[in-house]
Each structure stands twice: as structure tokens, then as C-alpha cells.
Chains A and B, each alone.
Chain A
């Protein structure tokens, strides 16, 4: 990021504080419920971007891992006799691991292909898993499953879920940042730009891509688990939802593909808007129109997303106003420099 390091640190601290105190300030259950869903999508968009944004492989099947996390948590809680309450949250990491395990074979298969073929294969996986959830015995078919429902007071019910998913978000963003600055992250970016040449420079592209794919599936699975527990019921068409895939991709595109902050911003804007419209007007599908319009605006005006465009503006403004450029961004950091660096 072209912002100076202290500014960046301040923004990070501010973000964490807002995340922490939000339900205390806005304690209305309607608001906290919106906040919960927003953070769920921030986790998913951030995790998705860790793989797709860095490697350029636009996966549209992460609903597989979301749904598997949801089903894993519900099935385990029911079959292992978990009492409704805080104990069930212990299964959230397990849901993430299940999603990560499922990402191994699906990733191995999908990553044999590149670009468009890869996208189609990931979509196909999503529908295969949805069909399986409809038709397998243990998933309850079309009537879905119910995880245990905790008997918390209405006042704090949402908050408990909110704080759990907020913790997952912090871990996901930390992971995403670590990947971005690691050599592994650089190898992913190299694959995005020219996979054949990356091989010629000794990058083991197969392993690198699969690792990133698995790493990105785990937080999505955890989010799916928390989501299922919060809703108290899951159905195949919502656990494995094609709109979920489009949403998280659009969120990352809006904020800035391949940046750490971009997907967070995108999810914050889009998901809270969608929830707001749903609550306010009861029009649960109206957001699709807005998504379409926003997507057009992004493609036409900010093809690289909000964060890279704003960064570029700032650094242009800085160099124009004659202020000395700060020590130029270290490699591996978000954002490039003065010049059009492509979608960073």
C-alpha cells in the first residue's frame, strides 16, 4: 500500500477496534444480524482472493467448501451429541479442516486445467455437490438439516456468533497478509503473470497452486460452519449456492483483486447493502439488480478495483504536489507505485 507505514498501522488498529465494538454500539438485533452476515462474507471474499486474486485462477466453486463446512458442523454436532451452546463452536475449526480436505481432490482435478476451463470445472463441482446434498441420505435431502439451537437471550444471541466469526476474520486476514508477503505469495503472483516462465524459474506450480487452493478453502469452510449454526437450518440450495460464488468474486473485484484490503472493503459494501435491502424492503433478490449495475460500474470505471485505483490516485497526487515519495513500497506489499502496475 502506498500509505505510509504508520498510517497503515493506524488503519489496521482502527479496523480491529471497529470490528470489536460494533455490536456494543449498535446493539439492535437487526443491525447485528446484518453485521454477522457481512463479516461472514468478508471472511469468504478474503479467503477466496488469497487463491484466486493472487494466482489469477478465477474459481467459481468455493460454495463447495462453504457448504461442506456447514454440513460438517451440523452433522458432527448432531451425531456427536453436542449440547447447544458454546461447545459447538469447537467444531468450527473441524469444519474448516473438512473443507480443506475436500479441497485436495477437487483442487487436484480442477487445477489440471487453466483459465476458462478451470472456471467451468469449479462451477461444475459446485453443482455436483449441491446435487449430492439433495440426494444423499445423510444430508437429509431437500429438507436439509438442523444443528442444535442454543437458548441464548435474543439480546446477545447474534453477538456470540458475531464475535466467533470476527475471530475467524482476523485469522483469515492475518493469513492472507502472511501469504502476500511470503515467497509463496510471490510465486502465486508469478503464476498469475506467466505460469510457463514461473516453471522455468523453478516454481513448483502444481504444489503452489494446490496449497493456495486448500488454504483458501479452510476459512470458507469455517465460515460455512458458523453460518449454519447461526441460521439453525441448512438446505442444499443455500449451502451450495451459485450466487455465493458470484458474490465473493464480485466483492473481491470491486475492492481490488489480489490486494489484502480490497475483498474486505468489497464485502463490507456489498453484503451490508444486500442485507439492508433485504431487511428494509423484504426484496431478497433485489440485490441482484444492484450487483449487476455495480459490476458494470466497476468494469467500466475501476477495472482494477477500488483500492488499487485509489492508491494510484494518492501517489499521483503526491508526486504532483511535489512531496517527496515515501521510501517506495517494499516488494510483496499491496499496491504498486506511481505507474499502472496492473491489477494489484
Chain B
């Protein structure tokens, strides 16, 4: 399997803090990859580096064989990499449907957006279809700020799907979400994966990761400690050590 998005020996420091050191990660096309690790192990930083929000000091990030190491978030998204945030970010004063329409410009020149309406009939129909997919269509006209936490997570995911990205990077999609919605989320991710979307998921919820992901990478102190199937990772003594002890500075 070829890698759709990969980070190769990426390093990133914030002042004296080495958030990532020589960290490599590769997500195969068509797979659901998991990224786990103790708090502060660099998961979100790796996400930021991969999506253009942070620049790495060394190493390379590639999407579909093309380097995106120095790209801006706008450009990374235009290429087909969508991401969600650990703390859900929405346009809270816009309606749910308007939130869905923001990303629709991906396939179009920028100048056209000045003249054209916020969403064509087809785009609105597609947005409503996707809202239906995540079960939010009846809330299309209410402000996004009124949604519950779990609904916000679903909307954040759906608003990426409008632009039809090839790979989705989800940062803790189940944090603070109730079990029913987690189940729904799992089903949706599986369904999208069957339709050809690639996923990279950061999670603390082991049950969720182990049940969903084809391949799991464990990050520890800015390094990729271990990559493998969920079973391999679960049985690895180094992984257990990272999570259960040994590195007391990571435990919160």
C-alpha cells in the first residue's frame, strides 16, 4: 500500500521543549490510522505540522508524494487534507448550514467567490445531504453555537466532507462525546472509509482506536515508539511502559 500522507523524520521545538524529534508516520491510502500516546507526547503538534499550522525545523511532510512541508493551511486543505481540532472549532455565530458552505470553494478559483452566491443549489443540497448523514439536518438553520458538544464534533467533521478531501485528520473526535454519538461517529467513519476516504485519528479512547483503526502508531516524547496493528501495539512492552509508568513526566 502506498502512503497517502506521511511525515518523515520531523522535528519541532517550542523554545526549549522538543515537541517532536525525528518522528516518522505514514498513513496508507484507504486506511484508518490511529495515533495514540500519553499527554504531551506530540500528537497535536504532529497534526499541526502535517496541516501547515506549524512549520517543522527539520524533516519532511508529503501528501500523495508531493512535499507540503512549507505549505500554508489553506494550501494543504486545497490539496485534499482536512482536519478537525482537539477543542472543536466552528463558526459559532453562523448557522449550521452556513458552516457547511464555507469549505465549498475548494474546487474553484478564488476570484469567482467575490461574485458568486454563498452556495449554489447543488452545494446546498449536498450540504444538507451531509448534514443528514451525521444526523443534523433538522438543525440546519440554527446557529452552530447552540449545538451540544457532540453535535459540534459531528458538524466539524461534516463541514470538511463538503470539500471532499482525500484524507481526514481527526484530533480527539470522541473527547467529551456521549457513547451513543461515539457509536454513530464510528459508523460514519467506517462508512466514509469504505467509500475511499483515508483517516488519521488522534485518540485517548482505546476502545475506539483499537476497534476502528487498521494501524496504530504510538507516540512517546515526540518519537514514534511503535507502529503496527492494534493487537501488536497492545502487546508491546515498550508501549505499556510508556502508558503505565517509566516516564513520570508525561503522566497527568
Residues of A within 8 A of B (CB): 179, 181-187, 189-190, 192-194, 196-205, 207, 211, 328-329, 331-332, 336-337, 339-344
Known: A186-B98, A204-B110. A199 touches B89 (CB 8 A): no
B117 touches A182 (CB 8 A): yes
Question: Which of B25-33, B140-148, B176-184, B233-241 contacts its partner?
Answer: B140-148
B112, closest chain A residue (CB):
A183
Chain B nearest CB, measured from A20 CB (Å): 28
B113 touches A331 (CB 8 A): no
Known: A196-B53, A211-B114. A201 touches B95 (CB 8 A): no
Contact of B83 among A181, A185, A200 (CB under 8 A): A200
Contact of B102 among A179, A203, A341 (CB under 8 A): A203
7 tightest CB-CB pairs across the interface, nearest first?
A342-B93, A193-B91, A202-B77, A197-B89, A183-B113, A332-B118, A199-B73
Known: A182-B115, A182-B118, A186-B98. A201 touches B92 (CB 8 A): no
Chain B nearest CB, measured from A47 CB (Å): 16
* Given pairs A183-B105, A187-B113, A332-B118, 9 additional interface contacts (CB within 8 A): A189-B94, A190-B102, A194-B89, A196-B53, A197-B90, A202-B74, A331-B101, A331-B118, A342-B93
Chain B nearest CB, measured from A186 CB (Å): 4
B90 touches A340 (CB 8 A): no
Q: How large is the interface on B (under 10, 10 to 19, 20 to 34, 35 or more residues)?
A: 35 or more
Q: In whole angstroms, how far apart are the Cα atoms of A343 and B114 in the complex?
A: 23
Q: In whole angstroms, how far apart are the Cα atoms of A314 and B156 in the complex?
A: 31
Q: List 6 A-B residue pairs with CB atoms under 8 Å apart, sorted by A's residue number.
A: A190-B102, A197-B89, A197-B90, A200-B77, A201-B159, A202-B77
A333, closest chain B residue (CB):
B118
Cβ contacts under 8 Å, B38 to chain A:
none
Whether, in the assembled complex, B167 has its beta carbon less than 8 Å from a beta carbon of chain A, the answer is no
Cβ contacts under 8 Å, A186 to chain B:
94, 98, 101-102, 118-119
B117 touches A340 (CB 8 A): no
B103 touches A182 (CB 8 A): no
A201 touches B163 (CB 8 A): yes
B159 touches A184 (CB 8 A): no
Chain A nearest CB, measured from B76 CB (Å): 8
Q: In whole angstroms, how far apart are the Cα atoms of A285 and B4 in the complex?
A: 66
A205, closest chain B residue (CB):
B74
Cβ contacts under 8 Å, B97 to chain A:
331
A329, closest chain B residue (CB):
B141
Chain B nearest CB, measured from A258 CB (Å): 9
A182 touches B105 (CB 8 A): no
Chain B nearest CB, measured from A21 CB (Å): 33
Contact of B160 among A201, A211, A328 (CB under 8 A): A201
Chain A nearest CB, measured from B101 CB (Å): 6
Whether, in the assembled complex, B24 has its beta carbon less than 8 Å from a beta carbon of chain A, the answer is no
Q: In whole angstroms, how far apart are the Cα atoms of A337 and B96 in the complex?
A: 12
B83 touches A190 (CB 8 A): no
B114 touches A344 (CB 8 A): no
Q: In whole angstroms, how far apart are the Cα atoms of A196 and B115 in the complex?
A: 24
Cβ contacts under 8 Å, B106 to chain A:
202
Most buried by B among A183, A199, A211: A183
A339 touches B146 (CB 8 A): yes
Q: In whole angstroms, how far apart are the Cα atoms of A107 and B26 in the complex?
A: 41
Q: In whole angstroms, how far apart are the Cα atoms of A197 and B116 in the complex?
A: 22
A203 touches B118 (CB 8 A): no
Q: In whole angstroms, how far apart are the Cα atoms of A203 and B159 in the complex?
A: 13
Known: A189-B91, A332-B117. A200 touches B73 (CB 8 A): yes
Cβ contacts under 8 Å, B232 to chain A:
none
Contact of A339 among B89, B118, B124, B142 (CB under 8 A): B142
A202 touches B91 (CB 8 A): no
Whether, in the assembled complex, B18 has its beta carbon less than 8 Å from a beta carbon of chain A, the answer is no
B163 touches A184 (CB 8 A): no
B84, closest chain A residue (CB):
A200
B142 touches A337 (CB 8 A): yes
A203 touches B142 (CB 8 A): no
Chain B nearest CB, measured from A252 CB (Å): 16
Q: In whole angstroms, how far apart are the Cα atoms of A179 and B119 in the complex?
A: 13
B162, closest chain A residue (CB):
A201
Cβ contacts under 8 Å, A337 to chain B:
95, 141-143
Q: In whole angstroms, how far apart are the Cα atoms of A332 and B114 in the complex?
A: 13
Cβ contacts under 8 Å, A179 to chain B:
114
Chain B nearest CB, measured from A176 CB (Å): 13
Contact of B93 among A202, A211, A331, A344 (CB under 8 A): A344
Chain B nearest CB, measured from A180 CB (Å): 9
